[in-house]
Amino acid sequence: MSDRLSLLLESLHCRGRLYELFSQIEKEFEALYTENIALKDKIETLNEQLEREPAIIERADTFDSGEPSVVKTKGKRESMTASQLSQKIKSTYKLKASTSRIVSTFKAPSLACRLFKEYLGHRDGVWEVSCSRHGPSLIATASADHTAKIWDIHSGGCIVQYWGHKGSVNSVRFHPSQDLVVSSSGDQTAHVWSVTSAGGAADNLKYHSSEEEVELSEEDHGEEGESSHNISILKNAKIELQGHIGVVIAADWLAGGEQVITASWDRTANVYDVQTGELVTQLVGHDQELTNTCTHPTQRLVVTSSKDTTFRLWDFRDAIHSVSVFQGHTNPVTSATFASGDKVVSGSDDRTVKVWDLKNMRSPLTTIRLDSPVNRLAVSNQNIIAIPHDNRHVRLFDLNGVRLARLPRSNRQGHRRMVCSVAWSEDGRNLFSCGFDRLVFGWRVTIPTKDDTKLNVTKAGKE
């Protein structure tokens, strides 16, 4: 009984303490409310004082009557007619508008982008698209459906299908001067094979009507997959490059085309001799899986990007190669590629693209901040950066970080899922994109010339 009584007394004491605390809180709220009311009163008083200050323009309805309108300023009085004041206001607005038009012409000219071709036929996501560097106008695509395809840019038809890999094909790049390509795969190898039946590949080619390809693609794309020419099926490589113990995520040709570099999830990059297929050099240094590799078009320079948030520049111009590490991203670097003027452009999952000077790698020249992770980007000969995103968009910037355009995207055109890669044609007029939606698009990009910009400035000045 005594225990119950003590518990009851303790609960009553706690209840009383709670009431006391709530009373204190209520008093504090009342004090804050009173203080808030006082502040509002002060604000209203200040507003009234501002309204009574000089520099008041009489009501505008006096303009219509034609009577003089008095403009009051501190210690000065200026009288003018309503029509004069109205004319002065109109002149000011006209001058402002004209100035805005002239200033706008000095901004980077926007690009006109339109879809001109679709390349249909892959049965799984397309990881990469690349353009031929010489000869016919061709593009190559690498897909998770274990195939790589060569396409005619203008007709949109598939010319060659390569079935030599046993895993996802992660990249495909054209030889700088010969009808060869190198492809990399999840089967831990890279293959060198011929774009045409020349060069000893004739025995491995089988020709058939495109009807079979139509049957494969019509499930997803209907009659759009139809093509009017034969497709070459290639099943064996000229050279198979082995040596990695992980997925080969990318491969590219060194300048001159005599060697190939591969980047792998085993954290290494290998350099191979194309003629013999032998391993020449193994590049070690990245702390995590590699995500991509790109080569300089004319010099023996290579960049490798990695999930370790860095990319590395490997210099093979001397007998003993050197390496430079570029740090600046906070998430995996998805790609790094060369631009003219000794520059490198890198993209990352941290939603930034950075432009670097090879002569000063401590800090980037430009940082472009975006709203979505960046995949395999490309830089045109005109130094326009095409940036593919996880959010299905492709944006175009210049090396100074000025946004130039965004590729059109709607229900009828554009990618429906992540855009994995982009590639520019050699002349910089065509841009190609591919994505996880199995789609490959060709875009026509119109770049205003300097004469067009001067013409716009002249027109703005006359207006």
In this model, does residue 58 exceed pLDDT 50?
no
315: enclosing H helix or E strand: strand 310-315
> Which pLDDT score is estimated for 88?
57
Cα–Cα nearest to 209, from 190, 232, 242, 188: 232
Q: Is residue 156 part of a domain?
A: yes
For residue 152, the enclosing domain spans 124-195+229-451
Q: Is residue 81 part of a domain?
A: no
Structural contact between residues 434 and 128, judged by C-beta atoms closer than 8 angstroms: yes
> Which pLDDT score is estimated for 462?
44
Q: Is residue 315 part of a domain?
A: yes
pLDDT in tens, 177-206: 999 999 999 999 999 999 875 333 334 444
Q: What separation in angstroms does the CA of 308 have from each of 103, 127, 265, 312?
A: 43, 21, 12, 11
Q: Is residue 425 part of a domain?
A: yes
CATH number at residue 355: 2.130.10.10
**Of 284-293, 297-306, 338-347, 442-451, minimum mean pLDDT range:** 442-451
Residue type, 314: W
pLDDT in tens, 137-146: 999 999 999 9
Rounded CA gap, 324 and 361, in Å?
Answer: 8
Full DSSP string of 146-198: S-EEEEETTT--EEEEE---SS-EEEEEE-SSSSEEEEEETTS-EEEEESSST
> Which pLDDT score is estimated for 200?
38
pLDDT in tens, 388-437: 999 999 999 999 999 999 999 887 789 999 999 999 999 899 999 999 99
For residue 317, list its beta bridge partners: none
Q: Is residue 343 part of a domain?
A: yes
For the chain, how many structural domains are there in total? 1
pLDDT in tens, 240-259: 999 999 999 999 999 999 99
Q: Is residue 273 part of a domain?
A: yes
pTM of the model: 0.70
Structural contact between residues 145 and 122, judged by C-beta atoms closer than 8 angstroms: yes
Q: Is residue 429 part of a domain?
A: yes
Q: Is residue 170 part of a domain?
A: yes
